């Protein structure tokens, strides 16, 4: 997540809407996050319902399949506003994941 946020930086929505390189970087980072989300075991996701797992995976699908029709305003808000709460939640989720036994 921090990498995606770094791409947007302090750019305004207007600047983001005209910067195709930045748009692509944010879209690609969100695609990777969504793909990684799909690989997290369902049981773990159920133990952390405050994380929007389905939304993250669903956004990946939208970005992959509707590249030309992506709403840049929504993408900007996701990357600058919605991600902030998620970034704050991640350290606790990561700690929980590291504390769980690994299934062999």
Is residue 60 flagged as an active site residue? yes
- Among 21, 39, 46, 65, which one carries the catalytic annotation? 65
Nearest to 16 by CA among 4, 31, 1: 4
* Contacts (Cβ under 8 Å, ≥6 apart) of 29: 3, 4, 7
Burial of 4 (0-12, 13-18, 19+ CB in 10 A): buried
Catalytic residues: 60, 65
């Amino acid at each position: 997540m921090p990498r995606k946020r770094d791409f947007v930086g302090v750019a305004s929505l207007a600047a983001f809407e005209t910067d195709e390189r930045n748009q692509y970087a944010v879209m690609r980072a969100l695609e990777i996050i969504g793909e990684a989300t799909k690989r997290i075991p369902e049981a773990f996701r159920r133990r952390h319902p405050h994380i929007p797992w389905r939304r993250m995976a669903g956004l990946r699908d939208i970005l992959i399949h509707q590249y030309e029709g992506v709403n840049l305003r929504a993408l900007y808000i996701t990357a600058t506003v919605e991600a902030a709460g998620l970034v704050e939640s991640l350290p606790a989720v990561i700690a929980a994941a590291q504390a769980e036994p690994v299934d062999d």
